A and B are shown apart, each in its own frame.
Chain A
């Protein structure tokens, strides 16, 4: 008689930490904070995933990669759940994930600076940017926003006026 043992959830979290984000492969889906829950329902493993941006085209690829990786690790019965609430926030990016982003050349989010009209207005009137983002290459804070939107929905385009390099900023949401 064969007894199948289910992997405990801590082990599953470890496996999930091996799944890279398809757009920013230096961080994992766990670093990104989009895996919200791992649990068993009977012999089925359930993984709840939340989207970063509602229209992020990587969402389906992420589900596919999680599914494929967990099956490679021997999970036979698996269900992925799309969870909307509470909505994803950059606050959930792990400390380790932030360091990996910086090393990769993407400035990590400056917490507490999600878009707001009041802040935008203050920035306009004062001529000072609402957010100061440090250059991920040289560390200078002499940077400026080129565009609120970058190569993916979660990033803005910046440039460093000290080392003159353009870079992506993972904007706060």
Chain B
């Protein structure tokens, strides 16, 4: 049904039509790019997969029914994004693997997610602060990817961005409410922020793979996302009476190159158990 133009969101029909317009898609036409593209898609899909799994760990244990449901819904969105990113990665790889194979049959050293998302949930303060720091990056990353020269990448970003707007709205609200809440909620949110801050720099540290994808117009240079991210984070943290930490943000990194914390192995042991024990099992 046609409707009035939506004033508050980009014109998604136009974005999508633009994304569909025939132009050479580097993802399909430049064979030399395929290894970098596969790597880049795994980085996106692995971060959404691992965070989606972490959030699903709250299912049935949330401190309030509404929070439990919200976290499970966000986990679903992220796992949906994973199916799209890893599905495209599997197509690009052309090795006969599926998105499920990539998710369930790779070992930790093959995972390319940010370290931030594999950290244990901790308390709700840490879960929500991690979510906010990630959402602010995720939102900016997807906005930039909607303009990718790869139509396949752009269409996934357009779809995912609609959902991630709600993620960022919710996590910003909760960070403000809890940061500027009781003495106890403030103390916990401040502690979570200090603990997580050294992991945030990894989101903006590019390497050769990122440079190749940026050069081809497929994905933005990660460093170019920092200013927008920092703007959102500063605004929300100040409103939350927490403020931006002064310590270095780029201390903990390596996840995007396959160097992980011990936590990822435990997560994969649980997530992959069924496919490892009963290969090919289906619902």
- On A, residues with C-beta under 8 Å from B are 33, 51, 53-57, 84-87, 89, 91-95, 111-121, 124, 146-151, 153, 157, 171, 173
Contacts and interface: CB of A to CB of B under 8 A. Distances in A.
B81 A55 contact: yes
Contact of A94 (B1, B6, B9): B1
Contacts of B226: none
A53 B77 contact: yes
A89 B69 contact: no
B69 A115 contact: no
Nearest to A147: B66
Q: Which of B3, B4, B19, B74 gathers the greatest number of chain A CB atoms within 10 Å?
A: B3
Contacts of B276: none
B155 to A, nearest CB: 4
B176 A124 contact: yes
A115 B165 CA distance: 6
Interface size class for chain B? Answer: 35 or more
A13 B78 CA distance: 32
B80 interface: yes
A114 B75 CA distance: 20
| Nearest 8 Cβ contacts at the A-B interface | A55-B80, A54-B80, A86-B16, A147-B66, A55-B76, A149-B70, A115-B165, A85-B155
B199 to A, nearest CB: 23
B133 to A, nearest CB: 15
A147 B162 contact: no
B70 A147 contact: yes
B65 to A, nearest CB: 9
A54 B169 contact: no
11 contacts: A54-B159, A55-B79, A86-B158, A89-B12, A114-B8, A120-B173, A124-B173, A147-B70, A149-B70, A149-B74, A171-B166
B97 interface: no
A85 B80 contact: no
Contacts of B163: 53-54, 173
A148 B70 contact: yes
Contacts of A56: 76, 80
A153 B16 contact: no
Interface of B: 1-4, 6-9, 12-13, 15-17, 19-20, 52, 66-67, 69-70, 73-81, 83-84, 139, 155-156, 158-160, 162-163, 165-166, 168-170, 172-173, 176, 232, 235, 239
A contact face: mostly helix, strand, loop, or mixed: loop
Given A53-B76, A55-B78, A91-B6, A149 B16 contact: no
B176 A91 contact: no
A119 B169 CA distance: 9
Q: Which of B4, B13, B15, B166 gathers the greatest number of chain A CB atoms within 10 Å?
A: B166
A116 B20 CA distance: 25
A15 B12 CA distance: 29
A153 B73 contact: yes
B66 A146 contact: yes
A121 to B, nearest CB: 8
Contact of B8 (A53, A57, A112): A112
A112 B10 CA distance: 11
A115 B172 CA distance: 12
Contact of A85 (B159, B168, B169, B232): B159
